[in-house]
Structure 1
């Protein structure tokens, strides 16, 4: 009987439906990681459309940023000849997918270094929504709250 229950559990756990859900959740989490690495670490403005919808909004610490404001930030930041290196790390709290919509909550950690020395560590509590498009998952909203040092 134990073997039959184990077999049923394994079959249900590896069903195509559960794999699709897990795959979408993983894709959304990768979207978060890769968007911060490519956009906010590398300031690669050409990749904005790879991660964000045209109507994307970032609600950042009481400010509303759209794609135009984000591109302006990239332009200003890229002119800094002594710009620090940003390394991103995430701890995902929960990721949900329902059809072509997804939601994710996570802790965002950024370490800023210059000449091999840590100059600042920043922590945010964030949530984001994503939509599945014909080009894959794209973020359409991100809400970010900076966490003060304890």
Structure 2
């Protein structure tokens, strides 16, 4: 009888651990960082691979899509960009996740003009076909 109880307990623990896999917050951070790398290289295919079909970016009153970031901004190809992220919170709840972070950007334009900008940003993610995708990004310049 004792061995049956132990067997049931072991099966319960194995079932619980397998069916409730804990998601790694680093996965969301990686998607976000890769997205900004796609902006840096103006790689529309990469941006689309990392986002949901209905992805949108709100930035200081403007609404952007992946297309508008790349196709409607040809002058941005000459800008060298670098971002540093200071993650404040990362939360995953089932197939949805969100990140709140500070973003420090530095930009070189035409090899001469240098500019730095700081933002407060938040991003939402959705798991699509077992892959985390960026669904929404909100960005506000910090004063």
TM-score when normalising by structure 1: 0.73
Number of aligned residue pairs: 127
When Rg is computed on C-alpha atoms for both structures, the one with the higher figure is 2
Q: Is the 8 A contact 1:33 1:89 kept in 2?
A: no
Q: Which runs of 5+ in 2 are unaligned?
A: 1-16
User: What displacement does 1:95 show?
Assistant: 0.5
- Measure, in 1, the Cα distance between the counterparts of 2:75 and 2:30: 27
- Measure, in 1, the Cα distance between the counterparts of 2:76 and 2:112: 20
Aligned residue for 2:34, secondary structure, equals helix
Return closer, same or farther for 1:75/1:118 CA change in 2, 3 Å cut-off. closer
Structure 1 segments of 4+ aligned residues over 4 angstroms from their partners: 15-19, 114-118
Which residue does 1:20 correspond to in 2?
22
Which residue does 1:30 correspond to in 2?
30
Which residue does 1:125 correspond to in 2?
120
Return closer, same or farther for 1:116/1:66 CA change in 2, 3 Å cut-off. closer
Cα distance per residue 1:83-125 (max 9 Å; x no partner) = 2310111000001000000011000111113687771111100
Root mean square deviation of aligned Cα: 2.6
1:102 equivalenced with 2:97 (yes/no): yes
Which residue does 1:9 correspond to in 2?
none
Aligned residue for 2:72, secondary structure, equals helix
Q: How does 1:1-150 map onto structure 2 within 5 Å?
A: 20-21=22-23, 23=24, 25-39=25-39, 41-78=40-77, 83-113=78-108, 119-134=114-129, 136-148=131-143
TM-score when normalising by structure 2: 0.77
- Measure, in 2, the Cα distance between the counterparts of 1:77 and 1:118: 13
Aligned residue for 2:71, secondary structure, equals helix
